Amino acid sequence: MRLAAAARGAIPAELGELASPQWIGRALLVIGGAIVLTYPLISDDLFYQNLIILSLLFAIGAVGLNVIMGWGGYISLGQSSFIGLGAYTVGILATRLGGSPFVWLPAAGLVAAMFALVLGAVATRLRGHSFVIATIAALFLLQIVATNWRGFTHGTTGITLPIPQWDVAYQNWPFYYSLLGLLVLALLVSWRIRKTKFGTGLVAIREDEDKAATVGIDTPVYKSLGFALSAVFLGMAGGVYGYYLTFLDPNGMFDIVLSVQIVLAVILGGRGTIWGPVLGAFLIEGINELANQQLGGGNSRLLIFGGLLALSILLLPKGIIPSIEDLWKRRRTEGAAALVGARLNGAPAHAGDGGASPAPRTGSPLLEVRGLQKRFGGVHAVDGLSFAVEEGSITALIGPNGSGKTTAFNLIGGTMSADGGEVWLDGRRIDRLPPWRRAYLGLGRTFQITRLFGQMTVLENVVSPLRSFSVAQLNAGAMSGPEANRAEELLEFVGMREFRDQRAAELSFGQQKLVEFAQVLMLDPKLIMLDEPGGGINPTLVARIAEMIRDLNRRGTTFLIVEHNLPLVLTLCDPVLVLASGRCISSGTPGKIQKDPLVLDAYLGEDFKLEEPVGAH
């Protein structure tokens, strides 16, 4: 039965593949690229040259926006700010200091990037909709400043750029080819970003920003950087565009509809793809010309683009290219055995060269918690919590529901900030540090309900953590190279190597747990905090995970484990810390804890006496 299905899949695949979106897309790309590259050389038609020039402008804008929006998940309706900034920079410098406007293009890019960095630093502190509002506000503010600051920008009278000096025979070639060059540059940078850990970090931020922070991703810097990259080429393109129009004025240069068109280009073409924004840009410009030529521009143009924006959100939120890919994938995987459903290998992970004896315990505390406090409303979730975790140990943290275990983890890990108290890791105070700094210092943490970056592959998930903040780490290849190799080794260790190209969202709960574990190991942490590693999975898998923990511990990693599965705790961990009502009430070996009356009280409930026994009426 399986053989027949495989046979059915094999033969037409050869021919069928040629008809796949991949190959058709590549063919279209080559043809389209050839046309765009040679058009001005072949034809004198200024109308179509103009069409392509504007398309290139949109494309540069869209490719840039895709970095912060498609990958980072932050939508900006203010991208035309950068067009205007670039145009005005070039215009002002060229008219005041002389020289060809082309010479001043790098300055345009610089100004745009710097504005983006500043705006990003302010606006990305907040999430989702606040960021969009801020970008819109920035655009309008720039327009007002350009209108009012007459001395600098001539206000609504505008700036007129010098007429081009080159031979008329060359027509618009300099504009055309400089924009084309900028687009190629933007695409190259974009492509490079996606292949590096910077790119996977951006997608991680989009998928789960708080989780990304815990694996070493410095989210504010990533977001600002992404935003600045979205701006730099668009700024330069804006400079070319301004020169092309020869006339700059605030309304034309800081036009909100242009921003909408750029966003539409990304949405329609497909967010998060390399070529989607380019396709979308050419489409949008086509519609733009249609509205201008056939429908009289003005209100019709607004109607079309407003309607398109609303409709695309309602009906086709994914975009054209991803929708086609999805459709094709669905057709091809019918009948093929899905890798995901396969049973995990029951044998324990390969132990490597670890010895049989447990790791040497130094007796000194690796983690120290002193007097932690955290209130939610009127409830003290954590109330003067103090404990220490010995280096080299596998320490358990147990306690009844509501005792504050998960809150403690959140406070130590940095996803919540404490109302009082201190946390020390390896002799350094960490409670004021953001989560990624704690990761750099050697703290790793998993979550009770696994948090992975669903739209990325298993390998990308394990590659994305950052061990330290450096250009080298950011620029490191995500799919190949030393980082990727290390990730594959870790996947091998947890037994998930065959799943490396599977989308994380498609894994089962147990499989996700293993991947999350590998993710944390990527950080090479000194202390790993595991939140219910044995929860929700079958006993074989629990045993396997326990074996991995022991193995890593032998090689020097300290563990702090929250668990409800007490048999697991009792065989794996020593010492055991008991939490109740937000405090640590007891600690000791498993045997001692089991017999401690304080602990019994905690689990069974305070010795509570009613005035009258129930049922006495």
Partner 1 sequence: MASRTLSLDSVIAGYGYGDVLKGVDLEVERGSVTCIVGPNGAGKSTVLRAISGLLRPRQGTIRFEGADVCGVAPAEILARGIAQVPQSNGIFPNLSVRENVLIGAYILRRDRNLVQRRFGTVAELFPIVGERGGEKAGNLSGGQRRTVEFARSLMLDPSLVMLDEPSVGLDPKALRVIAQAIEQMSSAGKTLLIIEQNVRFGLRMSTHGVVMESGRVLMHDRADTVLNNPEMADLFFGGTVTAAPRRATTPA
Partner 2 sequence: MTELIQTIAFGLLVGGVYALLASGLTLIFGVMNVINIAHGAFLILAAFLTFTLWSALGIDPLAAIVITTPAMLAFGWLVYVLTVRPIRRAPPSSSVLLTFGLALVLEAMMGLIWGNQSHAARPSYFTESFHISGIVLPKGQVYACALAAVVLACLWLFLARSWTGRAIRAAAVNPSGAELVGIDIVRVSALTFAIGVGTVGAGGALVSVLYPFLPGSHYIWIARLLGIIVLGGMGSLRGALIGALLLGLAETFTQTYVSAQWATAVPYAVIFIVLLVRPHGIVGMRLREDVAA
Token pair, residue 474, equals: 């950011």
Site for partner 2 in 357-376 (CB under 8 A): 376
- Selected range binding partner 2 among 235-243, 313-321, 563-571, 605-613, rule: CB under 8 A: 313-321
Binding test (CB under 8 A) with partner 2, winner from 28, 184, 310, 340: 310
Candidates 22, 38, 148, 468: give the one binding partner 2 (CB under 8 A). 148
Q: Does 130 bind partner 2 (CB under 8 A)?
A: yes
Q: Please, what is the minimum distance in Å from the beta carbon of residue 15 to partner 1?
A: 40
CB of 373 to partner 1, least distance (A): 16
Report the DSSP beta bridge partners of residue 561: 396, 530
Q: How far is the CB of 54 from partner 2 (least distance, A)?
A: 19
In terms of Cα–Cα distance, which of 63, 192, 208, 66 is closest to 479? 192
3-state secondary structure string, 435-459?
HHHHHHCCEEECCCCCCCCCCCEHH
Does residue 470 interact with partner 2 by CB under 8 A? no
The crossing angle, in degrees rounded to 10, of helices 46-66 and 21-42 is 140
Quick check: 263 binds partner 2 (CB under 8 A)? Answer: yes
Residue of 341, 355, 427, 615 interacting with partner 1 (CB under 8 A): 615
User: What is the CB neighbour count within 10 angstroms for residue 426?
Assistant: 17
CB 512 within 8 A of CB 504: yes
Examine residue 340 and tell whether it contacts partner 1 (CB under 8 A): no
Q: What's the token pair of residue 139?
A: 């655009």
One residue of 62, 90, 308, 452 binding partner 2 per CB under 8 A: 308
Q: Applying CB under 8 A, which of residues 379, 449, 505, 598 lies at the interface with partner 1?
A: 379
614 binds partner 1 (CB under 8 A): yes
Question: Smallest distance from the beta carbon of 608 to partner 1, in angstroms?
Answer: 5
For residues 541 to 580, the per-residue mask of contacts with partner 1, x marking binding by CB under 8 A and - elsewhere, is: -----------------------x-xx--x----------
List all residues 6 or more positions away from 181 whose beta carbon is below 8 Å from its beta carbon. Answer: none
Does residue 250 have a cis bond before it (omega within 30 degrees)? no
Cβ proximity of 333 and 502 under 8 Å: no
By C-beta, is 137 or 479 nearer to partner 2? 137
244 touches 177 (CB < 8 A): no
Distance of CA 264 to the CA centre of its chain: 21
Q: State yes or no: residue 607 binds partner 1 (CB under 8 A).
A: yes
When CB distances are held under 5 to 8 angstroms depending on the partner's kind, the choice from partner 1, partner 2, none that residue 449 binds is partner 2
DSSP secondary structure string, 39-94? HHHH---HHHHHHHHHHHHHHHHHHHHHIIIIIT----S-THHHHHHHHHHHHHHH
β-bridge mates for residue 580, sequence order: 583
Q: Tell me the number of residues near partner 2 by CB under 8 A.
A: 55
Catalogue the long-range contacts made by 351-359 (C-beta closer than 8 Å, 24 or more residues apart): 351/547, 351/551, 352/493, 352/551, 352/555, 354/551, 354/554, 354/555, 355/554, 357/554, 358/550, 358/553, 358/554, 359/392, 359/553, 359/554, 359/555, 359/556
| Residue 594 site contact among partner 2, partner 1, none (CB < 5 to 8 Å, cut-off depends on kind) | partner 1
Q: Is 325 in the site for partner 2 (CB under 8 A)?
A: no
Site membership for partner 2, residue 305 (CB under 8 A): yes
- Does residue number 125 form part of the binding site for partner 2 (CB under 8 A)? yes
* Residue in 177, 424, 440, 603 binding partner 1, rule: CB under 8 A: 603
Q: How far apart are CA 440 and CA 437, in angstroms?
A: 5
Secondary structure letter of residue 169 according to DSSP: G
Closest CB to partner 2 among residues 110, 137: 137
Q: Would you tell me which residues interact with partner 2 (CB under 8 A)?
A: 75, 77, 122-123, 125-126, 128-130, 132-134, 136-138, 140-141, 144-145, 147-148, 210, 256-257, 260, 263, 267, 298-303, 305-311, 313-314, 317, 376, 406, 409-410, 415-417, 447-449, 451, 531
